């Protein structure tokens, strides 16, 4: 672009040039930098002010190279040109030294605006020492420079220094008073904030709103409401501040009443109300607010997605997120975290990949918390390779990322790798926390490493400040119980320094199920009844134990007891993702799926192939005392087998079949799916309530550690090296 020299304008041309300069500045502020440049180029005559307007516009629209090029080619420069340059270079931390050099190179005396522009840059980027040094060197200061430094001190939590600066200010306007007031509130010094509020010579609606927000943020919502009632005037910000105060205090009903009384419903208030409804489980109310909104921002979509996610409306959360992307709304940080949590809960890998792509577009892949959630999503979707790639390419790693990988390896049956990551983490100088130890102990439990588990458990009190809690004792009970040391696990519970919770007694129940210890199981079941009187889980498990030892009458009594007490028993279900849809299957209800005829044909074909391979159904996993043919029929239609059959029907060869189940995988189904993977030459990944099972070539990644030892021909055919030590869980 060729730049003509600046000319002296005839008086008749001056109004047109001033108007053109204003247009350039307006277009640049609106983000239309191309329009601003076109307006500049169309000017027949330009002044230095014309160049200054475009220069500031380039910086405002994050085009520093274009701005510097324009500055170098300017025919003439005034003080405003240098001020625009200093202000623009101060926007980025890496160009702050250039801004300081520009201040020093001004060929005429710099103004207070010149110094304040650099001062603002130091404060913006947290370089408070440099800001204070510059402030002290300034030949003159005005109320703006005082207010800029005051804000920096308050943002850094240096409230006492800020108060001393505030008291030194020669001219304190309402902005400075309000900034000091807000600083006290943010520091929790609400009494001093109110005293300052009462001293203010002049208050505006911002001051009143700051005091109301301060009360609300510090748990004084009633005082906030009293002040709100006597405000001389209110705007939508003050209404919203009071609304947010109620929501933060958990007073959703009061918030809803205030929301209904508002003269208008701005986007921020609607978003806050949706968050409050979501926290209270009032999803329909949140959806009503969402659907009535004429305008929405990214916070609106995020609030609706969060309301769905935290109340387990998982499919609705997914569809809302996809609609948000379809409408061209850029996802924000909370919506990404929420939807990654949903993808992990449902184990829907294709959706998770879409979210990962959205993260890359929005640069969230550089945020440690978002990446930690991404790793967890890939792990829970069964794609451990992708989780490892994300983990190894991100630096620096935080404790959550390390914990995610340790737990992920353990859940996938890779105990050695989990313990290797645990060791690498300590070598990297990262101190394990309580969750780290849970992950490491779980890895030991899932792989039968009793010795290593004991060493890690004992090292907690010796090598760290972490004291074992109920979760850690639960892991040890699980480890000992799975390894057949049921009595030792029972003794550990009786001697532990913390009160055993339902998880600990549940772990002992699981051990009793594996090793058919009905006596200890009955004791554990009674303890669980005291802790969770409405949970049917321990009694279903106890019924399993009675069945496995042939105590059919006791099993029948237990089922009647469950029925008479109206205990909650989660129905077994499995699901599989195909073509961006989640297909759900429940045990014994294969006809519910629209493609049930094709699924039944696959199941019947698999039955024949399994029989040819030496498989016979294990009726011990059927609770009722029925004949063997009926037991075989019942096992055939377990939900995980239906989902696997659908996967064989739909998932292309060469791609793994990924199935999720809400309960533990049935032991008979575990044996059958091993053979199905071998017969069909497919990889089947099953995530149950406890862990992942990778079935391939007739083997499972869990090394059959959970499967009860038996004499069936097909078990001998597999020839697994750990077959002699196999138990079912």
pLDDT tens, residue by residue, 216-243: 989 899 999 999 999 999 999 999 999 9
DSSP string, 421-478: HHHHHHHTTPPP-HHHHHHHHHHHHHHT-HHHHHHHHHHHHHHSSPPP-HHHHHHHHH
- To the nearest 10 degrees (0 to 180), the angle between helices 33-41 and 14-29 is 160
321's CB contacts (< 8 A; 6+ apart) are 301, 305, 331, 335, 339, 342, 355
Query: Which of helix, strand or coil describes residue 695?
Result: strand
**What value, to the nearest 5°, has the Cα angle with vertex 499 and ends 497 and 500?**
110
pLDDT at 492: 92
pLDDT at 629: 45
pLDDT at 454: 92
Q: Along the chain (729 residues), what's the average pLDDT of each consecutive run of 10 residues?
A: 46 72 87 90 88 89 89 91 91 91 91 92 92 93 92 93 93 92 94 94 93 92 93 91 92 94 93 94 95 93 95 90 91 90 87 88 83 90 90 88 90 87 91 91 87 90 78 91 90 90 85 81 81 73 74 78 65 84 82 88 89 69 44 69 92 90 83 91 88 88 56 27 25
pLDDT at 567: 58
pLDDT at 691: 80
pLDDT at 148: 93
pLDDT at 31: 86
User: Backbone phi, then psi, for 153, in 5-degree steps?
Assistant: -65, -40
pLDDT at 431: 87
> What DSSP character marks residue 10?
P
> What DSSP character marks residue 497?
S
Which pTM value belongs to this model? 0.69
The candidate with the shortest Cα–Cα distance to 183, out of 154, 156, 206, is 154
The candidate with the shortest Cα–Cα distance to 38, out of 49, 28, 52, is 28
* CB atoms near residue 155 (< 10 Å): 16
Beta bridge partners of 583: 576
Q: Which domains does the chain have, with CATH numbers?
A: 298-396 (1.25.40), 573-700 (no CATH)
pLDDT at 618: 61
pLDDT at 664: 80
Tell the residue number behind the tokens 């021909």, with chain if given. Answer: 713
Question: What is the rounded CA–CA span in Å between residue 603 and residue 685?
Answer: 18
pLDDT at 303: 95
pLDDT at 509: 81
Question: What is the rounded CA–CA span in Å between residue 723 and residue 715?
Answer: 8
Q: Is 512 exposed, middle or buried (0-12, 13-18, 19+ CB in 10 A)?
A: buried
pLDDT at 521: 81
pLDDT at 634: 60
459's CB contacts (< 8 A; 6+ apart) are none
């Amino acid at each position: 672009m060729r730049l003509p020299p600046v000319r002296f304008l005839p008086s008749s041309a001056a109004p047109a040039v001033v108007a053109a300069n204003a247009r350039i500045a307006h277009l640049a502020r609106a983000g239309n930098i191309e329009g601003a440049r076109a307006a500049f180029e169309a000017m027949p005559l330009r002044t230095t002010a014309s160049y200054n307007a475009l220069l500031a516009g380039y910086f405002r629209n994050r085009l520093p190279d274009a701005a510097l090029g324009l500055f170098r080619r300017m025919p003439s420069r005034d003080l405003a040109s240098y001020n625009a340059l200093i202000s623009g270079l101060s926007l980025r931390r890496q160009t702050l030294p250039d801004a300081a050099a520009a201040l020093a190179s001004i060929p005429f005396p710099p103004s207070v605006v010149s110094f304040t522009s650099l001062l603002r840059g130091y404060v913006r980027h947290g370089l408070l020492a440099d800001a204070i040094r510059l402030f002290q060197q300034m030949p003159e200061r005005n109320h703006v420079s005082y207010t800029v430094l005051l804000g920096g001190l308050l943002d850094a939590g240096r409230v006492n220094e800020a108060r001393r600066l505030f008291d030194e200010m020669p001219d304190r306007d309402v902005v400075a008073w309000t900034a000091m007031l807000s600083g006290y509130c943010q520091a929790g010094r609400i009494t001093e904030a109110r005293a300052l509020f009462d001293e203010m010579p002049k208050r505006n609606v911002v001051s009143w709103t700051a005091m109301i927000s301060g009360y609300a943020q510090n748990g004084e919502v009633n005082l906030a409401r009293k002040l709100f009632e006597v405000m001389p005037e209110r705007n939508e910000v003050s209404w919203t501040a009071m609304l947010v105060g109620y929501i933060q205090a958990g007073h959703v009903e009061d918030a809803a009443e205030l929301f209904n009384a508002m003269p208008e419903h701005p986007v921020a208030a609607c978003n806050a109300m949706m968050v409050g409804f979501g926290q209270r489980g009032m999803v329909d109310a949140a959806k009503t607010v969402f659907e009535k909104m004429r305008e929405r921002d990214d916070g609106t979509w995020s609030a609706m997605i969060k309301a769905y996610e935290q109340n387990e409306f998982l499919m609705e959360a997914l569809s809302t997120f996809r609609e948000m992307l379809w409408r061209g709304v850029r996802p924000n940080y909370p919506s990404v975290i929420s939807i990654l949590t949903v993808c992990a809960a449902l184990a829907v890998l294709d959706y998770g990949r879409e979210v990962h792509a959205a993260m890359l577009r929005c640069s969230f892949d550089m945020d440690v918390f978002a990446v930690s959630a991404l790793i967890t999503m890939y792990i829970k979707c069964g794609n451990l390779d992708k989780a490892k790639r994300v983990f190894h390419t991100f630096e620096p790693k935080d404790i959550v990322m390390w914990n995610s990988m340790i737990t992920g390896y353990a859940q996938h049956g890779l105990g050695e790798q989990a313990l290797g990551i645990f060791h690498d983490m300590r070598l990297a100088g990262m101190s394990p926390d309580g969750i780290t130890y849970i992950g490491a102990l779980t890895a030991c439990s899932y792989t039968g490493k009793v010795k290593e588990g004991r060493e890690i458990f004992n090292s907690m009190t010796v090598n760290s400040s972490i004291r074992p809690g109920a979760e850690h004792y639960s892991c040890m009970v699980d480890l000992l119980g799975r390894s057949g040391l049921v009595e030792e696990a029972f003794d550990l519970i009786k001697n532990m320094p913390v009160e055993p919770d339902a998880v600990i007694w549940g772990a002992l129940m699981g051990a009793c199920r594996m090793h058919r210890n009905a006596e200890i199981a009955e004791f554990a079941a009674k303890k669980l009844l005291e802790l969770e009187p409405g949970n049917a889980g321990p009694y279903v498990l106890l019924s399993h134990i009675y069945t496995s030892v042939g105590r059919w009458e006791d099993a029948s009594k237990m089922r009647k007891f469950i029925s008479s007490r109206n205990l909650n028993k989660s129905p077994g279900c499995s699901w599989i993702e195909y073509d961006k849809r989640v297909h759900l299957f429940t045990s014994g209800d294969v006809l519910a799926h629209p493609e049930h005829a094709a699924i039944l044909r696959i199941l019947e074909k698999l039955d024949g192939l399994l029989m040819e391979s030496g498989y016979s159904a294990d009726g011990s996993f059927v609770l009722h005392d029925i004949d063997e043919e009926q037991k075989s029929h019942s096992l055939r239609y377990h939900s995980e087998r239906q989902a696997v059959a659908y996967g064989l029907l739909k998932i292309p060869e060469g791609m793994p079949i990924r199935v999720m189940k809400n309960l533990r995988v049935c032991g008979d189904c575990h044996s059958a799916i091993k053979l199905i993977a071998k017969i069909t030459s497919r990889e089947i990944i099953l995530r149950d309530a406890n862990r992942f099972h990778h079935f391939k070539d007739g083997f499972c990644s869990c090394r059959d550690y959970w499967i009860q030892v038996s004499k069936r021909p097909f078990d001998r055919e597999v020839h697994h090296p750990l077959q002699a030590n196999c138990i079912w869980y």
